[in-house]
Amino acid sequence: MSEVDEVVIEQAMSAGERLRIAREEKKLTIAEVAAQLRLVKTYVEHLENGQWEHLHGRAYARGYFSSYVKFLNLPEHEMLSAFNHEYKTVASEAPAIKRFDIETKGFPWFSFFFGLIALGIAGFAYQQWYQNDKLVEYGLSEPQGEVTFSDSVVEVIDEGDL
């Protein structure tokens, strides 16, 4: 019988695991780290678990990660290169987001109806102004009385009462 030798392949720790181990060595809780970095506790957990997709995009994830690295006094250049490598891997595995674009081809119905309504309102206003102007011009519409203002009462005085 032959003896089987086990070959252990050492995997490099991920950037998130290195953050977690450094935090635990300093005997800090996630809540304490979150308070110091002014982050939500779930963001700190996402950083330690390498869940970059939950951190609102690469710019935010990198900023949070960089702040955490500086807070723990870890080698910044080395950690950021590990982050960049891991983020590229996660981004290439992430499913593509389906975007829905609004078609602008065809007739612009909204603009057409808005313009038609505006034209109708302008035409109606012009017609009312024109009719009122003609009535006053031909003397068919005259003021019915005189309005006077006293302290708090408005009185309408007919011309026949004067």
Per-residue pLDDT tens digits for 65-105: 888 899 888 888 888 888 888 887 665 555 555 566 555 56
- Say if residues 18 and 79 touch (Cβ distance below 8 Å): yes
Model pLDDT for residues 39-49, shown as the tens digit of each residue: 888 998 988 88
Is 7 a domain residue?
no
Model pLDDT for residues 96-129, shown as the tens digit of each residue: 555 665 555 666 777 888 888 999 999 999 998 8
User: Which residue range is the domain that position 22 belongs to?
Assistant: 15-93
**Model pTM above 0.75:** no
Of 62, 93, 124, which residue sits at a domain end? 93
Is 43 a domain residue?
yes
Model pLDDT for residues 10-63, shown as the tens digit of each residue: 457 788 888 899 899 989 898 998 898 898 889 989 888 888 888 888 888 888
